Amino acid sequence: MRLLLRLCPGLGLAAAAAFAQKAPGFDLGAINRSVDPCANFYQYACGGWMAANPIPADQSQWGRFAELQDRNRIVLHNILESVSANKPGRTALEQKIGDYYSSCMDEKAIEQAALGAIKPDLDRIAALADRKELTGLITHLFREGSAYFFTWSPEMDPKDSTQVIANLDQGGLGLPDRDYYLKTDDKSVELRNQYLAHIAKIFTLLGMPQAEADAKAKVLMAIETELAEGSLDRVSRRDPEKIYHKLKIAELAALAPAFDWRAFLTGLGMNGLGAPPIENVDVAVPPFMQTFNAVITGRSLDDLKAYLTYHLVIADAAVLPQAFDQESFNFFGKILSGAKELRARWKRCVDQTDSQLPDALGKSFIDKTLGEQGKRRMTQMVAELEKMLERDLQQIDWMTPATKVQAVHKLHAILNKIGDKAHWLDYSNVRIVRGDALGNLTRTNEFEVQRQLAKIGKPWDKTDWQMSQPTVNAYYDAQENDVNFPAGILQPPFYDNKMDDAVNYGGIGAVIGHELTHGFDDQGRQYDAEGNLRDWWTPEDAKAFDQRTQCLVDQYSGYTAVDDIKLNGKLTLGENTADNGGLRIAYMALIDSLGGKTPRKTGGFTADQRFFVGWAQVWCTNTRDETARVRAQVDPHSPAEFRVNGVVSNMPEFQKAFACRQGQAMVRYPACRVW
């Protein structure tokens, strides 16, 4: 059934959606029975699926997450197509999402507009004649949703969760990570040369002679390399204490005096009438601000103009003429990620509408997918997993009683948000103009920027979400101390009302356990029940925790992502801790729900076996080498194969279920366990 969407283009959307919803939560056809589950459980559970699901040409990776996101996208597509025609009778919200989508799809209008839509900003950059004007220019572009050199956003004060303060962080890079600019291996050098060629191509599309475009590309690379050298590496950023530096505005100005921070605040409307004055800023990486100051004082105005021009164009490439859109894909999609062709326009426009007007689509999506039964069962499962995590916290032998009390208190304080929103955003003041794709993107960006900045100085709204409801994902927020499960993930293969508990506990149950465990991983454990960055551990407990997590660091650092690239066990530690703890807690919940009963085999599998296969099959994935290389360097999640095998090899319960023997690959000794 899964393949019909891709292989039968004549299938109507409604029929395709109906077929897609039948994707099983437990797929016997996905299993490769020629593989011994004790030798490589991932290949056993997913080998059949991987063989039957090659990566589509427009994708850099294809797995069960993407498969479900594709099904969700069809639901959204049907909604948008039904309201995209400019007919009377549409509601105000239908007009906005319909016209936004229609404008994004109108490639003819985008071509006819040429660069006219961004010409005012291009002209403003070109007219920069004095460094004193740089603050105003960057402020203007920031209000339109473009972040240059740095990011500025609201955050709960890590040391005082009752306060929302401003956060200033490093930024300004075009490549995925600082290390891309600093490594000297052949692959990194080759990629930088390809990035240079891409930048030069953008400048030639703007009408610049090739020689001048090449020179501008080298200037831009030099600026970004300087910013990269001043940036903090990803592993260091995993320590919340290393990215918390609460400074007065005057102290920030001392770090980067060439930028007028007071004028920046005023330009954002944050020091205006009725707005609380900004006195404190969390400057995540103070040395980076010194680097930023050195760049804007040491580089010529022409150099800075080149930097700003490129980043303005590439940020808006999706709604610029096709040549810019294609060139953006050629580098970021094809070279960097390995995709073979640009995704269909309708898919990208559905995603853009969901991104820019998330709540306008989210409510309709929930009504069509989750339903009350699904939400009720999910709420029950979260409660069951929380009960098991509390039992686990009480039973572990390496934590002292005093710290256990604090841990249980934190667990009880976790807020659960499941597949719905308490408050939906009001878009009544957002102007959507039919035929103005770039204008619509800019105006929705401006709306979101102002919505975020308005949070500063006010109590944090814990009902807000960081992702839209159709998103196939979930998350834990350490400062809010909450777990969040959008409706998008509460569907097969993660959750299926028609499946038995064993499969659902292995799927969505493990996801729930994963997010709950994040509250007690190497980052989450540093925050207390109220979301404050506070050390509530005894020294002996902290030492015991570090010893156990080092086992995971060593285990996952031994896995090879692609070619000669090993995983970074320190970068992936939080996710690996959550995977291992989450599946164990989900298994405890399954056993508890069975109450000592032994269900009959289903499809030839015991309940325990179905649980582990259910877990593995949510991760079935095919990945291009280019993407595997990028993810190994920047993604805190391990690749799918190691998320599966890494966890089950640490679980005696798995080894018993599949009669694995000591010495086989899925029997790790010594086994790693934190939670």
Label residue 144 exposed, middle or buried (CB < 10 Å: 0-12, 13-18, 19+): middle
CA-to-CA dists, residue 24 to 493, 619, 620, angstroms: 6, 14, 13
As given in the structure block, the two tokens for residue 112 are 């006819």
- Per DSSP, 323 falls in state H
Query: Cα–Cα distance between 649 and 584 in angstroms, integer?
Result: 12
* Residue type at position 617: Q
Residues noted as catalytic:
515, 579
CA 335 to chain centre: 21
Query: Cα–Cα distance between 269 and 276 in angstroms, integer?
Result: 10
Please count the other Cβ atoms lying within 10 Å of the Cβ belonging to residue 625: 13
The residues, any chain, with a CB within 8 Å of residue 220's CB and separated by 6 or more, are 174, 199, 306, 307, 310
The residue written with tokens 């080149």 in the block is: 306
Query: Cα–Cα distance between 312 and 117 in angstroms, integer?
Result: 12
Cα angle 154, 160, 166 (rounded to 5 degrees) comes to: 20
The residue written with tokens 């066990």 in the block is: 569
Q: Do the strands 61-63 and 621-623 form a parallel or antiparallel pair, or are they unpaired? A: antiparallel
The residue written with tokens 């404008």 in the block is: 103
**Size of the chain, expressed as the number of residues it contains:** 675
Query: Cα–Cα distance between 674 and 670 in angstroms, integer?
Result: 13
Q: How many CA atoms lie within 13 A of 546 on its CB side?
A: 8
The residue written with tokens 């296969």 in the block is: 613
CA 136 to chain centre: 31
Query: Cα–Cα distance between 638 and 643 in angstroms, integer?
Result: 6
Host H or E run for residue 366: helix 358-369
Cα angle 638, 639, 641 (rounded to 5 degrees) comes to: 115
Query: Cα–Cα distance between 172 and 289 in angstroms, integer?
Result: 12
Q: Is 161 helix (H, G, I), strand (E, B) or coil?
A: strand
Query: Cα–Cα distance between 8 and 11 in angstroms, integer?
Result: 6
DSSP calls for 165-218: EEEEEE---SSSSTHHHH--SHHHHHHHHHHHHHHHHHHHHTT--HHHHHHHHH
As given in the structure block, the two tokens for residue 258 are 């060439």
Please count the other Cβ atoms lying within 10 Å of the Cβ belonging to residue 563: 10
Start-to-end CA distance of the chain, whole Å, equals 38
Query: Cα–Cα distance between 478 and 482 in angstroms, integer?
Result: 7
Query: Cα–Cα distance between 503 and 610 in angstroms, integer?
Result: 6
Host H or E run for residue 61: strand 61-63
Rounded (10°) angle between helices 345-356 and 92-105 = 140
Query: Cα–Cα distance between 124 and 309 in angstroms, integer?
Result: 10
Please count the other Cβ atoms lying within 10 Å of the Cβ belonging to residue 272: 10
Asked if residue 358 lies in contact with residue 424, where contact means CB atoms within 8 angstroms, the answer is no
Q: How many CA atoms lie within 13 A of 320 on its CB side?
A: 21
